[in-house]
Amino acid sequence: MTDPDCLFCKIVAGDVPAEVVHTTERTLAFRDINPQAPLHVLVVPRHHEPNAAASAEADAAVFAEIATAARSVATGAGYDDYRLVFNTGAGVGQTVFHTHCHVLAGRPMGWPPG
């Protein structure tokens, strides 16, 4: 499914520019426009679903591909240690309702996140 009003569908389609750093058959990875760490990349499935669990239900393989693409992005940038975040719901800060995995690395990160 492609949502004509979805920003990340437009990036996947090439209709909105983005700095793409990695691609696979089912995923696209591009730099976040407002980086929160020296490495901040978003890995998105090409197929539109609103959140991580919905993507996993729609196609379990895509979820594995997001995780391995995220590792490739991090290790390719020289980071063996990295954080993956899937915000799910506006109450925890999700603003784009197309599944995306934040790949963050390059600075100390506290836990729990605040």
SS (H, E, C) the chain: CCCCCCHHHHHHHCCCCCCEEEECCCEEEEECCCCCCCEEEEEEECCCCCCHHHHHHHCHHHHHHHHHHHHHHHHHCCCCCCEEECCCCHHHCCCCCCCCEEEEECCCCCCCCC
Handedness of CA 42, 46, 51, 54 (dihedral sign): negative
Q: Which amino acid is at 75?
A: T
Enumerate residues 72-101 that contact ligand 5GP by CB under 6 A. 87, 93-96
| Binding map of Zn ion across residues 44-73, x = CB under 5 A, - = no contact | ----x-------------------------
Closest CB to Zn ion among residues 1, 112: 1
Choosing among Zn ion, ligand 5GP, none, which partner's interface includes residue 6 (Cβ < 5 to 8 Å by kind)?
A: Zn ion
Enumerate residues 47-66 that contact ligand 5GP by CB under 6 A. none
**Least distance from C-beta 49 to ligand 5GP, angstroms?**
13
- Is 100 among the residues known to form the active site? yes
Catalytic residues: 100
Binding site for Zn ion (CB under 5 A): 3, 6, 8-9, 48, 98
Write out the residues near ligand 5GP by the rule CB under 6 A: 7, 18, 30-34, 87, 93-96
